[in-house]
Each structure stands twice: as structure tokens, then as C-alpha cells.
Chains A and B, each alone.
Chain A
């Protein structure tokens, strides 16, 4: 790894770094909601992946393509159905699931076009959310949930427990999962779901079809 990449890695969101570590080197990867493509660049440079991206925000897409990254403007709700079955080894959805129109269908599409899916999302079950809602009676406003209710793109918030329930309903196999606390450390409560759901600011899941 050269200095440039280390610098880049430092600026990556916590969940993106963790996601990159979950990917087998040399895989075919589709990053859905890839932003300006930092994760793509990391996957290409450090894990030699054939990594491509979809991003809904055109300004981000332009930045990514201008950096030489294969990114197309598209919508997770609409564009995943275009890909053939099994086109990828991994489909990644980084902090986007809560913002799509139909999260269940998006997950289904991900596990159709790809062998495995990696999904990360802000955990609405975090104690700060619960506390703010209980104390003030208003929608929480935290670092991982920063915008007021009328401006947030996050229209489908869920908790870690909710997500486990959906996986069970859809018979997905959770190959691994983890919760992350505010400081970006892996939360130590992996063995106790209730604690992870209380102290994990974000969650990352690695799924495959049952």
C-alpha cells in the first residue's frame, strides 16, 4: 500500500473500511450507492477487485468518473433488475438500504445478481436514538442520524433486530455481522444482540441466499 492509498483509507467511512476487509481479493463487486467512489478505488487498488458502482447523485457520479472509476448514475430501486443473475461475487450497499423505496426488493435483487450481499446501515435502535425519542418526544438528531425528519433521505430506518427479522423472513443466511460504536470500534457485544442493538451506531451484515 502506498501513502496515497493509506491517506485515502483514513478518510473512508468506518463501515466502508470494514466492508473492504470482508471482500475476497480479485472478486467482481458492485457497489450500490458508491458516492464519489472511494470504496471502489480502495477495492481496486488494495484488493484487485473488478469493482463498479451505481450512484444516484449525478454530481458524485461525475466526480467518480472523472477519477477514472467505473460508476454509472442509477437508482438502486430501478436499475438492479437490469443485471443478469450471478453477475457479481459481492453486491455492496453501504448506508443506503434505509434510503431506498423498497428495501426488501433491493435486497432480493442484490442476492439475485450477486452470490453475496454486504449491507450496512445506521442502527435506529442505538441508545441515543431511543433516549432522545423518549426524553424529548421528538425525532432523534444524532451524528449518524443528522437531518430533521422532513429533510432526511432515510425513509426506512431499522434496527439491528429488525434486520435480523427480515433476513429470517427471507431465509437469508447471515454469514457474519458486526456492530460498530461511535468511535468506530467494533462493538464488543456481538454475542448479545440486545446489547449490540443498544450500543452499535452502525451495523454491517454479510448475507447469502439460504
Chain B
């Protein structure tokens, strides 16, 4: 596949999961796009971590994205590390040296964009014999992919549900990503990105990146509600921990988030995907006019934001809604009241689930989708 940056990937592997049954007309397919650190295990136990699927509240039999009615596809993004072609894949663009073995791409992996991810997904959809998706749904970076799908392949997307999304990555978001990347670079184990040579990983750097990012996924209210200023169990006072010990529960929570993340994620993949997000700006090709990216769109949109999300705030969803209004597109737009921050899209938010389920049912009626 030829990437936007001009580099040709000699081969492309896309790892994916599917749920439900594709109907005879192949008209009931829904593509779920995952976020930065998500993967294809949307509604089943994770093969590596053993944890439940990341969106089991949303996807499954009788759930808002009902696998009894829809055929659901979720693939690991291009650049990912859960089976799809990415920095950890063995490179096949150069001949393997005599007697040697193929190396991973590492930091030589070409720059991928959100559009490249979507084009790779398009190839998967074609491979499955599906000409048009009934819906594309995704939160955060998954929302970016959803918007890119609608902009790049408008005829192939009957309905689009970008959740907690934005049409571009803001300076603040790029800044947070850069902190994460610098943490990885600063880890001596990173070894200029060739850490596999030593059989180690830049786990501490990647964990710090995850910790910093995780704070941005929550809101102040959510952190206060969950942890407040509570001390770690067994600590009589903050002073008992000493200068370098664990004092507060929020610290050990973040450390746990960091250490469990590094067991399932490749550092170079994290670098590649954060770059892809930073690069994303749908209006860039249209001299900053976002509506031009959607001119004449037949897609029905449902934008969802969360009141306490400061990473992808409501204002950015409203900007997209207004751009879609300027081309008279069919748009639904809801801001869900919650104190759970950006991560709310993954959590138990009844209004979110009612919104997505209802929107899909309404669209199914418009699409003439006869559900079994």
C-alpha cells in the first residue's frame, strides 16, 4: 500500500475481529474504530491481557451496537502493535541479509496518517466483500478515523458516529503527546528505537507517557471523586511516606495504569500513532474550510461530546456540527452531561448508549435495513 508520505509498504497485514452475521445484501456492516491505545478486541476477552473487550458496554448482543442486528468489524490500526502492520512488524522492504534474519521496522517505520489507517480499513472492507458500511463509529482517535471515512469515502458510509472527536489535533493535545514521546526517548532502554536488539523495552518511558496521557483522559472532578487526597493504605499521614515513597492513592493508580500498559503496548507503535493523531487536520487540504471536506455528503452524522472532556471539548464537536450544517448535511449533535472526562465514551454512560442505539435504529429505518 502506498502511504500518504510517499513510501510504499510492500505488504499489509490487518488484524481484525468480527461479531454478528453479514446479511445477504451485505448492508448491515458496522466498522468500529479504536482509539490511540485500543485494538480489535472490542467485544471479546483480550488475547494478551485477558481483560474484557474495551467496548463491551456498547457492542454485543442486545447492546446499542447490537450484534444480533449488525455485522460488526473492528481492526487494529495501521501502525498498531496487536497484529496489524506497524513498527514492531518485521520489515520486508529490504532484503534479509545472508544468514541473518529480518528486523522489525522500529523507528524506520514510515509516517502513517489517520487517512492511511482508513485506507487500510477500506482494503479490509473490500476484502470482506462489503461495498458500503451501514455505519462507522469511533471515539477519540476512532472519531478522527470516523470523520476521515466520511470525508474520504462518503458513498461508502451511510451513517457516521464520531464520539469525543475533533477535526484536528489541537496544540494542547500535540503538546501532551510530545511529553509522552520525550519520556520514551529519555528512557536509556529505548536505544534509539532499536530496543529489541537488547531484548528489553523502554518500559519506564512508555509508562510515564501513559501516566501523563491518562490524566488528560480524566476530569478533575473524576479524579477528586475517585481519589480525592486519600492516602495509600497503611499510611498514617502524608509525612510517613517520606520524600520518595507513595503518599497518595492517585499516585499508585497512575503507576498501575503505566505498568499494566507497557505489558501490552509497543513503544515505537505509541510514537507512530501519536504522530498520526498530531498530523490530523481534515480542513488542511481545504484551506481551513472544514465544510469543504464534507461538501455534498450523503452520510447521516451523529456527533457526541462530553461536558467534562477537556481533551476533545464540546466546542470541537460543535465546530464539526456547524461545518456540516454549512453543507446542509443531516446532523445529530448531543453533549452528554458527565463528570468522567474524555474517557466517558468507554464507560457506563446510559445517555451515550441510548443516543448511539437510537441513532442507529433511526438510520436503519432510513437505510431500509430490514433487521431479522
Binding site for B on A (CB under 8 A): 50, 52, 58, 61-62, 64-74, 79, 82-84, 87-88
A61, closest chain B residue (CB): B334
- Please tell me if the beta carbons of A62 and B300 are within 8 angstroms of each other in the complex: no
Q: Which residues of the other chain, A, contact B334 by a CB distance below 8 angstroms?
A: 58, 61-62, 65, 72-73
Q: Which residues of the other chain, A, contact B303 by a CB distance below 8 angstroms?
A: 72
Q: Which residues of the other chain, B, contact A66 by a CB distance below 8 angstroms?
A: 351, 354-355, 357-359
Can you name 12 A-B pairs with beta carbons within 8 Å? A58-B335, A61-B332, A62-B336, A65-B332, A65-B355, A65-B359, A66-B351, A66-B357, A68-B358, A68-B365, A70-B300, A72-B303
Q: A52-B330, A58-B334, A70-B300 are in contact. Are A65 and B322 (CB under 8 A)?
A: no
Taking a contact as CB atoms closer than 8 A, the residue among A73, A87, A88 that contacts B333 in the complex is A73
Q: Which residues of the other chain, B, contact A62 by a CB distance below 8 angstroms?
A: 334, 336, 351, 354-355
Q: Which residues of the other chain, B, contact A74 by a CB distance below 8 angstroms?
A: 321, 333
A53, closest chain B residue (CB): B332
Give A73 to B321 CA distance when docked, in angstroms.
9
Taking a contact as CB atoms closer than 8 A, the residue among B322, B326, B332, B357 that contacts A71 in the complex is B332
B325 at the interface (CB under 8 A from A): yes
What are the interface flags for B320-358 relative to A under an 8 Å C-beta threshold, 1 for contact and 0 otherwise?
011001111011111111000000000000010011011
Q: Which residues of the other chain, A, contact B302 by a CB distance below 8 angstroms?
A: 65
Give A72 to B317 CA distance when docked, in angstroms.
11
Report how many residues on chain B are interfacial, defined by Cβ distance under 8 Å. 28
Give A69 to B359 CA distance when docked, in angstroms.
7
- Please tell me if the beta carbons of B362 and A67 are within 8 angstroms of each other in the complex: yes
Further contacts, 17 of them, CB under 8 A, given A66-B358, A68-B365:
A61-B332, A64-B332, A65-B302, A65-B359, A66-B354, A66-B357, A68-B358, A68-B359, A68-B360, A70-B330, A70-B332, A72-B333, A72-B334, A73-B333, A74-B321, A83-B326, A84-B326
A88, closest chain B residue (CB): B328
Q: Which residues of the other chain, A, contact B330 by a CB distance below 8 angstroms?
A: 50, 52, 70
> Would you call the interface of chain A mostly helix, strand, loop, or mixed?
mixed
Q: Which residues of the other chain, A, contact B362 by a CB distance below 8 angstroms?
A: 67-70
B361 at the interface (CB under 8 A from A): yes
Closest 3 CB pairs of A and B: A68-B362, A66-B358, A72-B333
Give A68 to B135 CA distance when docked, in angstroms.
14
What number of A-B contacts does a CB cutoff of 8 Å give? 69
A106 → B minimal CB distance (Å): 15
Q: Which residues of the other chain, B, contact A58 by a CB distance below 8 angstroms?
A: 334-335, 337
Q: Which residues of the other chain, A, contact B351 by a CB distance below 8 angstroms?
A: 62, 66
B162 → A minimal CB distance (Å): 13
B325, closest chain A residue (CB): A82
Q: Which residues of the other chain, B, contact A88 by a CB distance below 8 angstroms?
A: 328
B334 → A minimal CB distance (Å): 5
B231 at the interface (CB under 8 A from A): no
Q: Which residues of the other chain, B, contact A50 by a CB distance below 8 angstroms?
A: 330
Q: Which residues of the other chain, B, contact A82 by a CB distance below 8 angstroms?
A: 322, 325-326
B143 → A minimal CB distance (Å): 16
B363 at the interface (CB under 8 A from A): yes
Q: Which residues of the other chain, B, contact A70 by a CB distance below 8 angstroms?
A: 300, 330-332, 362
Q: Which residues of the other chain, A, contact B332 by a CB distance below 8 angstroms?
A: 61, 64-65, 69-72
Give A87 to B328 CA distance when docked, in angstroms.
6
Q: Which residues of the other chain, A, contact B361 by a CB distance below 8 angstroms?
A: 68
A95 → B minimal CB distance (Å): 22
B303, closest chain A residue (CB): A72
Taking a contact as CB atoms closer than 8 A, the residue among A65, A72, A73, A87 that contacts B358 in the complex is A65
Give A64 to B334 CA distance when docked, in angstroms.
10
A69 → B minimal CB distance (Å): 6
Q: Which residues of the other chain, B, contact A84 by a CB distance below 8 angstroms?
A: 326-328
Q: Which residues of the other chain, A, contact B327 by a CB distance below 8 angstroms?
A: 84
Give A72 to B319 CA distance when docked, in angstroms.
12
Give A180 to B367 CA distance when docked, in angstroms.
38
Listed residue (A66, A74, A83) with the most chain B CB atoms within 10 angstroms of its CB: A66
- Please tell me if the beta carbons of B354 and A61 are within 8 angstroms of each other in the complex: no
Taking a contact as CB atoms closer than 8 A, the residue among B328, B335, B354 that contacts A83 in the complex is B328
A137 → B minimal CB distance (Å): 41
